[in-house]
């Protein structure tokens, strides 16, 4: 915060809120946040209905859990950010350098407009004061999360074990002609049941498993259509434990895969190994993408400039990525031990798609470690 010139930081991303304080509730559909200063414990600010969740899940004192009335919830007559502005003013921060996460799913243009207006009104009322103009602090907390602690890595390993169990269950129940929604119900059951040792949490992204030509689109969910012969399906899923994610993608083909699928499979298997070998401490994030792209190019496949990976860890909907580093050729970020990524070289062609991915941990020496052990080859069903 000091380096960024921020004296008071308002954090609205629920992943960052949880990382800072432990706050964990399905309350992100209303305005809420954590206020961080340079010299005191954080403050949770949110809807009064969610006060109990803050008491139950965070380590904050009662004085640092500040509610606003339901009268401010989803009404055009007033806005919750008015109460945030007053809270900042009451604490003597209306004229401080206030940072906000401008480019964030949970901080709207209207919210920023209302906060600015309230701060301008209250800040100008301070003797000799001037209205505070919030500055952009997008990603400030996210970047502090890139290197995981031992506890965080342990949670991600547990999430990985849940994903391994889920894919074993898919292998046991998937049969040709099965309705897609019935398969998704099995996936949900398995991933939330987890393992005998650990139950699963809800993932930040719902199961993605398009089939055939639909698999040319990377973010389709499911339908109630049966899984027919002569088509491939990719699964984009994640195990989740205490909000920590371990994504893993695998593919299945019902019938005999055509040569283009087999060629793409071979290319991805080689490209994954090349990228994992390049994912070493001291290398650039971009080196992983270069290793993958060179391998695919040798087999005549061009993914273009698309990124092929991103950091993962603690997340809430709608995304399990951390929105900082990218595996793309121009990313100069130096990889460090304890960083975790979803290495995601998906192929989405005109009439089909294929995904084979790994969640990886950057280690002290040598290639990255895969957090899960699930066969990578395309599973073929007759």
Q: Residue 93's closest CA among 153, 7, 197, 170?
A: 7
Look at residue 123 in the predicted model and tell me its pLDDT: 75
φ/ψ (deg, to 5) at 33: 180, 175
Give the list of residues 6+ apart from residue 207 with CB closer than 8 angstroms, or none.
184, 187, 188, 221, 222, 235, 236, 237
Q: What domains sit in the chain, N to C, each tagged with a CATH number? A: 8-144 (3.40.350.10), 150-381 (3.90.230.10)
Q: Is 5 helix (H, G, I), strand (E, B) or coil?
A: coil
Residues in the chain: 382
Q: Quick: pLDDT tens for 34-80.
A: 999 999 999 999 999 999 999 999 999 999 999 999 999 999 999 99
Q: Quick: pLDDT tens for 110-136.
A: 999 999 999 998 876 554 455 678 999
Look at residue 131 in the predicted model and tell me its pLDDT: 61
Look at residue 127 in the predicted model and tell me its pLDDT: 44
**What's the CA gap between 223 and 4, in Å, rounded?**
47
Please, are residues 308 and 292 in contact by the beta-carbon 8 Å criterion? Answer: yes
Average pLDDT score over the chain: 95
Look at residue 382 in the predicted model and tell me its pLDDT: 87
Residues of the chain with pLDDT > 90, as a percent, come to: 95
**Full-model pTM:** 0.95
Q: Strand 231-241 relative to strand 135-136: parallel, antiparallel, unpaired?
A: unpaired
Look at residue 133 in the predicted model and tell me its pLDDT: 86
Q: Which residues in the chain come in under a pLDDT of 50?
A: 127-128
Q: Strand 231-241 relative to strand 244-254: parallel, antiparallel, unpaired?
A: antiparallel
């Amino acid at each position: 915060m000091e380096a960024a010139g921020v004296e008071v930081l308002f954090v609205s991303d629920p992943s960052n809120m949880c990382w800072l304080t432990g706050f964990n509730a399905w309350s992100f559909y209303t305005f809420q946040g954590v206020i961080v200063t340079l010299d005191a414990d954080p403050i949770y600010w949110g809807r009064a209905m969610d006060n109990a969740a803050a008491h139950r899940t965070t380590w904050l004192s009662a004085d640092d859990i500040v509610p606003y009335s339901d009268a401010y919830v989803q009404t055009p007559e007033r806005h919750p950010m008015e109460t945030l502005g007053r809270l900042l003013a009451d604490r003597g921060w209306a004229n401080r350098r206030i940072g906000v996460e401008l480019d964030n799913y949970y901080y709207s243009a209207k919210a920023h407009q209302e906060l600015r207006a309230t701060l301008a009104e209250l800040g100008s009322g301070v003797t000799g004061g001037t209205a505070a103009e919030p500055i952009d602090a997008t990603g400030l907390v996210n970047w502090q999360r890139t290197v995981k602690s031992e506890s965080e890595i342990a949670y991600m390993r547990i999430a990985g074990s849940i994903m391994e169990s889920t894919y074993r269950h898919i292998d046991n129940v998937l049969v040709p002609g099965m309705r897609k929604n019935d398969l998704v119900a099995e996936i949900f059951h398995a991933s939330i049941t987890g393992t005998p040792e650990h139950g699963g949490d809800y993932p930040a992204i719902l199961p993605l498993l398009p089939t055939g030509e639909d698999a040319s689109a990377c973010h389709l969910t499911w339908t109630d259509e049966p899984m027919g012969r002569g088509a491939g399906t990719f699964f984009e899923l994640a195990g989740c434990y205490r909000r920590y994610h371990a994504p893993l993608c695998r593919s299945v083909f019902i019938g005999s895969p055509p040569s283009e699928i087999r060629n793409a499979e071979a290319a991805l298997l080689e490209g994954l190994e090349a990228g994992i070998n390049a994912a070493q401490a001291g290398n650039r994030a971009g080196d992983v993408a270069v290793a993958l792209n060179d391998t695919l190019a040798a087999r005549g496949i061009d993914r273009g400039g698309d990124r092929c990976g991103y950091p993962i860890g603690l997340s809430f909907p709608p995304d399990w990525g951390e929105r900082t580093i990218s595996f793309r050729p121009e990313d100069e970020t130096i990889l460090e031990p304890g960083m975790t990524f979803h290495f995601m070289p998906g192929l989405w062609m005109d009439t089909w798609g294929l995904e084979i991915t790994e969640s990886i941990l950057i280690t002290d020496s040598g290639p990255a470690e895969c957090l899960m052990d699930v066969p990578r080859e395309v599973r073929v069903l007759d």
